[in-house]
Amino acid sequence: MSLLPAVRYLKSLPAVRHRSQSVYALAEQAQLRHFTLDAAKIPTIAALVLRLIQRDHGTVSQVPTHGRWRSYITHSPGPGASRDLISEHIAKWQAAGVDSWECARRVIDLFVVSVLIDAGAGSAWEYQDAEIGALTRTEGLGMAALRMFERGCFSSSPEGNVFQADAEALKALADEDVLQGFQVSESNPLLGVSNRAELLRRLGMALDQGKYFKDPQEGGVDGPARPGFMLDYLASLHPSAAHNQEEDRREVDIEEIWEVIIEGFAPVWPSSRTQLGGESLGDVWPCPTLQPTATTVDSPTLSADPSILVPFHKLSQWLTWSLLEVIVRLGGFTVTRTELLTGLPEYRNGGLFVDLGVLTLNDSDRKRGLEHPLATGGVPLFDGSDPVIVEWRALTVCLLDRVAEIIKKECCAEGEVPEMFLGRILEGGTWKAGREVAAEKRPLSKDPPINIVSDGTLF
C-alpha cells in the first residue's frame, strides 16, 4: 500500500488543525496522557489578550499581522524614537532606483534566512547592536541576521548586490561565519549554533534544487537561485496581471504559497526527523495519546503508523505568516484562504495556557522534566520529540483557535472581521501575553513554564 497520500496529507495545512483537534477531543474527555484541561479558564485568556490589544493597538483591525517584519520595528522612549528598519531599507533602495519587485525579492531573501534561524536562542544569549543596543531571543536573532544581510554575508556577488541571499553564498557559509555574525562566545552561548549554520547551508542546496527559486533570467542572464525568486514563480501561475499594475492585483491561493514553502524548503529540515515511506516529513511527530493501547513509541523519529502522527510545521508556518505581508504589501498580490493557517505551537503561545491554568502538566511528567540533566530554574525540560511536547503543541493549536473565536464574537459582532484575523490575535496577542506572563512569573530567566531542548532548527 502506497504511503504517498498519507505523506501529502501530513505535509498539508489542513492536517495541522485536523490532527490537533483529534488530540483536543481527548482532552475534553479527560483522556490525555500528560496534561489536564480546564476549559472554563479559556475566556480568562481571551480577556487578557483583548486587554493587551486594546492597550497597545486600540482595536483588532489596527493590529498588524504576526510576522518577521515586527522584529525589525524598534521601540524606544520618546516621540519619534521608533524605527521600521525594513521600511528604511526599502526607501533607500527605491531612492537608488531599485523597483518595488526587486525590493520585495530582497525582503523575502532576508525573511527566509531570518525565520529559518529563529529557533529558541536560550536565556543566556544576547546580541549587542551598535545602533539599537542589547537584544535577546527572537529580536536578537532577527537583528543578527539583518546585520549579516547588510554586510553581504549571504550574497555571492556583494559587489553587484549586497542585499540578497543566494544559493552559492549560503552553501559556502562556514560555522565560523555564523559564530561571528551572532556574536557567540563561551560567555555568550547560543543554543544549536552549529545546527543553524548547517541549516543555512541546506537552504542553499534547497534553493538550487527547487523549481520555485530560479532566476527569471531578466536580460538573458541566469543568476544564482534566491528565495526572493519565489515571487516570480507565483507570478508565473497567474500571468494575466503585470506585477506593477496595482489596479490589477494577482490573486494567489494560500496553498500555492504553502507548496513553495513546504516542498521548496523540504531539504532544509534534518533527515533524522519523522519519516514515512522513506520520506522525511519535517515538523511532524508521533503522539502516543492518539493510540490508547500503545505504551511507548519505538523511535521518536521513525514511525510506520501515520494514524498517530501530528504535524505542526511551526517554522514553515511562521515563514508563511511572515512572507504574506511582503507578498501582499510589496508584491501586489491578494492572498485567499489564509484561514487555513493555524496559530503557532511554540513555547510562548503554549506557555500562556500552562501559566494561567488552562493546561496542567501531570505530576509524574513534571518530576521527569525536572530531572533532565539540563533543567534549570525549577522549570521542567523535555526534548522536542517527547510525547509531553507533542501533546502540548497539539493542544496549543486548538486553544489558540478557541481564544480567537471568543475575541471575534466579542469585538466583531457588529462589524466586519479583519483579514488574517488569527494572525492579528497572535501578534496582539497571545504571543505577547505568553511572554509578559512568563516575565512576571520567572523574572530572572523569563523562560516559559515548560522548556524544550533546542537544536536550533525546531522552535
How far is CA 434 from each of CA 166, 194, 353, 446, rounded to the nearest angstrom? 35, 28, 8, 10
- Kind of pairing, strands 279-280 and 133-136? unpaired
User: Quick one: average pLDDT of 113-133?
Assistant: 85
Where is pLDDT greater, at 263 or 245? 263
User: Quick one: average pLDDT of 404-428?
Assistant: 87
Is the pLDDT at 241 greater than 60? The verdict is no
DSSP label at residue 20: H
3-state helix, strand, coil in the chain (%, to 5): 50, 10, 40
Rounded Cα gap, residues 134 and 124, in angstroms = 13
135 confidence band (pLDDT: 50, 70, 90) = confident
Is the pLDDT at 78 greater than 80? The verdict is no
Of 290, 296, 287, whose CA–CA distance to 31 is shortest? 290
SS3 assignment, position 346? coil
Rounded Cα gap, residues 459 and 454, in angstroms = 7
Of 94, 93, 98, 199, whose CA–CA distance to 145 is shortest? 199
Please tell me the predicted confidence (pLDDT) of residue 119.
Answer: 73
CB 19 within 8 A of CB 310: yes
> What one-character-per-residue DSSP string does 115-154 give?
HHT-S---TT-EEEETTTEEEEHHHHHHHHHHHHHHTTTT
Please tell me the predicted confidence (pLDDT) of residue 123.
Answer: 74
Please tell me the predicted confidence (pLDDT) of residue 408.
Answer: 93
User: Quick one: average pLDDT of 225-246?
Assistant: 80
How far is CA 81 from each of CA 74, 84, 89, 129, 293, rounded to the nearest angstrom? 8, 10, 17, 16, 59
Rounded Cα gap, residues 200 and 113, in angstroms = 7
CB 83 within 8 A of CB 90: no
Quick one: angle between helices 13-28 and 254-264, nearest 10? 90
Of 351, 274, 268, 353, whose CA–CA distance to 312 is shortest? 274
CB 331 within 8 A of CB 430: no
Rounded Cα gap, residues 327 and 146, in angstroms = 19
Rounded Cα gap, residues 304 and 294, in angstroms = 14
Please tell me the predicted confidence (pLDDT) of residue 458.
Answer: 60
Task: State in Å, rounded, how far the first CA of the chain is from the last one.
Answer: 34
pLDDT in tens, 287-328: 999 986 644 444 444 445 889 999 999 989 999 999 999 999
> What one-character-per-residue DSSP string does 227-238 give?
GGGHHHHHHHHS
CA 63 from centre of chain: 18
Cell of 112: 527566509
Please tell me the predicted confidence (pLDDT) of residue 113.
Answer: 95
Cell of 274: 519523522
